[in-house]
Structure 1
C-alpha cells in the first residue's frame, strides 16, 4: 500500500509532530507532501527515511498548488491520500479527486468551538470545509470533542471516525543526563525550579499566563518550547515584568523529549484544546502536569493520570499551584493514560481505516478488533 500524507506545513507543531511520530509505525510505504514551510519537522521526517515533497504554495489562494498536487499524486500512483490541517484538507482532497486516488482520508487536528487552526470559523470557512469534506471517504477526529464539533458543522456522523492522537512513551522517557545537558545549554542553573510550556506561541495558548505566574515566583525559570506569532509579545511582556532573564525561548525544536527532561513541571493554560498532546507527552516524561483543558484526559477515567491536575488559566492560581511542587519536585512513573494513547495502537487503527476505505475484505474485522482494544 502506498500512502501520501499531505499537510499544510512542517514547522514544529502538534499535528506536524504527530505525523512525524506516526510514520515509523505504519507498515504502508508513506511519503509526505507539505504545501508550505518545510521546517525542522520536514528535515526530521526525511532523516527518518520518508520522502518529503515541497509544493511551494505561495498563499491561501495559490490555486496552482492543486495542479502540482494532482500531478504528484498521479505520478506516485498512491492508494491513499491522507490530509492533515485545514488548507491541506481543502486542496488535498480536490487534488486527490482530480488524480483519481482510490481512497481519501483526512485527520482533523485543530477544530475549536469558534476557530480552526487559529482562524475564525466563518460561514465561508465552514462551507468550503463541508464541500471539500464530501470529496473524501472519511474524516478522522483526534478526540470525541472534535467529532462532536465536526457533526455540528454538518459533517455526517457516518463519515467521522475517532482515532486519538498517539504518543511514543519510550521516546519521552525522562533522561537525567539529557536534562542536565539541556539546562546547561540554555543557561539554566542545575538547581533551578523549571516551569515548562510546550506548543505554538499563539495567543490562544495563553502562555502569557505562564510569564505572569513566574513573575511573583522568585527563583523559578520558565522554559517555552515553540514558535509562533505571539513570541514577540511574550518577550515584551517578560521584559515589562522584569523577568526576561528568567524566561527561555527555545524557538522551533524537534527535540521536545530533551526539553521535557530539563523541566520540573509542565503547565498548559490553554482553555481550548482538541486533544492535549503536550499534556500526554509531559506525563510520559514523568512530569507533574497542570492543565486548563485536555480532552485526552477528559475521555479517560479520573485515575488514569494521577500526576495531572486541572487549573484555572489565571496567573495567581497557577502560581499558587506551582508553589506546591517547588519544595520537592520529583519524577513520576508514566500513568495509564500514556499507555492508552500509545502510538502503535494509533498506527494500527489508521491502517485498519486505510484497508476499510480501500474495501479490503478483512478490514471490518480488523477495525472491530482495534476499536475494541482502543477503548
Structure 2
C-alpha cells in the first residue's frame, strides 16, 4: 500500500503524562507528513488544543469499555490501529478480534516490563494472536518485554532557538512517584556541595511523593523549588544549567531527549534507555543507577566545569538531531505500519 494512511492511536487514559505526550507529538508529525490521524484517549483539555488540525481528530476514552467502543467506531475507516499500553492493547483486541476484515494492530511498547496478567492469565497470551506487530521505543524496552519487536526511538522536534544565558540550576523534570527516584536526586544535590557555589535545585512535576520529597529536602537542608506541573519546560531546558535524570527504569527518557534538543547537559542514571541516548558522550553524563554518591560526584564535577557543561550540551544536541528527531520517529513508525498492512493484506487472499 502506498499513499497517505488513515491512522488511529488508542490509549485508555484521562492523563497527560509521557505516553499521552508521545502520542500527541507523533500524531501531529504524522498529519504534517500527509496522513489522517484519529487519537483516542488522553486528557481532553490538553490533547484537543494540540490536535487542532484538519487532518487530526480526537475522542476521549478514560475506561476500557469506552476505549473498546471508540476503536470499534474508528476501525472501519482505518488502515492501522496503533495502541499504547496494555489496557489499549486489550481494548483493541476486544474491539477487532472477531472481525475478518480489520486493520492491523500495532502495539507500541513504552516500558521495560512484560504485559501483566488478567484474571490470572498472562495478557500476552490473550492478545498475541491478534496484535500484528510490536514497536519498542528503545533497545532497553525491546530486550525486556519478551516479545519480538521493532525498535523505533522516540524523538522530539529539532530546535533552532538561539542560546540563552544559563543559570546555576540543577533541574529535575519527572512525575513525583517512587520509581522515578526523585529522592535520590535530592540526596545527590545535597551531597554535591553545589549549593555552596551558588547552585539551586528545581523540581518540575507532580505526584504522590511530593509531600515526602518536600520533607526530605527540608531535612537535608536543600532549598528545593517544587514547580509543580509546567507547560513551559522547553523554556526551562534553555535556561537551566544541568538536567538530573535519576530514574533507573526509563524506557527511553523523554525529558533527557528534550534537554538534548536545547543543548542542556544531562546527568542520568546509567540504566534503561538513558544508555542509548547518552553512551559515548562525556563520562559524567551517566552515573551508576541507584547510587546518590556517584550522582553527586558527577554533579560536582560538571558544576565546576563550565567548558565541560557547554561541550556536553553541544554534543547532546548533535546526537538528538542525528538520532532522536520526531521526523525520524515518524518515518520509522510508518515503515512498521506499512509492513503490518502488507502482511494482513496477504493473509486475506
TM-score (norm 2): 0.81
Q: Any conservation in 2 of the 1:174–1:285 contact (CA below 8 Å)?
A: no
After superposition, where does 1:1-375 map in structure 2 within 5 Å? 1-9=5-13, 11-26=15-30, 27-34=34-41, 37-38=43-44, 40=46, 42-47=47-52, 50-57=56-63, 64-65=65-66, 67-74=68-75, 77-98=77-98, 101-112=102-113, 121=116, 127-151=122-146, 155=147, 157=148, 160-170=149-159, 175-176=163-164, 193-216=168-191, 217=193, 218=195, 219-243=198-222, 245-251=223-229, 253-296=230-273, 298-299=275-276, 302-303=279-280, 305-306=281-282, 309-312=285-288, 313-329=290-306, 330-331=309-310, 332-333=313-314, 334-359=317-342
Offset at residue 20 of structure 1 (A): 2.0
Compared with structure 1, are the counterparts of its residues 205 and 77 closer, same or farther at alpha carbon in structure 2 (3 Å cutoff)?
same
Runs (5+) with no aligned partner, structure 1: 180-190, 362-375
Task: Kindly indicate whether the alpha-carbon contact (under 8 Å) linking 1:80 and 1:102 is maintained by their aligned counterparts in 2.
Answer: yes
Provide the rounded CA distance (Å) in 1 between the counterparts of 2:120 and 2:236: 36
What is the DSSP-based 3-state SS (H/G/I as helix, E as strand, rest coil) of the residue aligned with 1:136? coil
Matched position secondary structure for 2:250: coil
Q: CA deviation at 1:342?
A: 1.8
| Partner residue in 2 for 1:366 | none
* Cα-to-partner distance string for 1:230-265 (whole Å, 9 max, x where unaligned): 22322232233343x4322232x3433112113100
Change (3 A) 1:273 1:266: same
Q: Which moved more, 1:209-218 or 1:81-90?
A: 209-218
CA distance in 1, matches of 2:275, 2:60: 37
Q: Distance in 2 between matches of 1:291 and 1:210?
A: 10
Shift of 1:88: 1.6
Deviations, residues 171-217 of structure 1 (Å, cap 9, x unaligned): 7x56527x7xxxxxxxxxxx5x2111122221111011112223353
Tell me the number of residue pairs that the alignment of Structure 1 and Structure 2 aligns: 325
CA positional deviation for 1:310: 1.3
Question: Aligned equivalents of 1:307 and 1:342: distance in 2?
Answer: 23
Q: Distance in 2 between matches of 1:230 and 1:129?
A: 31
Aligned residue in 2 for 1:364? none
CA distance in 1, matches of 2:320, 2:143: 22
Distance in 2 between the 1:206 and 1:238 partners? Answer: 13
SS at match of 1:72: helix
Taking a change above 3 Å as real, the CA distance of residues 39 and 85 of structure 1, as seen in their structure-2 partners, is farther
Q: Deviation per CA, 1:41-83, whole angstroms, max 9, x where unpaired?
A: x1442345632211242xxxx5x32552244325x62221111
Describe the shift of the 1:327–1:126 C-alpha distance in structure 2 as closer, same or farther (beyond 3 A).
farther
Structure 1 residue 111 displacement after superposition: 2.8
Aligned CA RMSD, in angstroms, stands at: 3.1
Q: Assess if the C-alpha contact under 8 Å between 1:112 and 1:272 holds in 2.
A: no
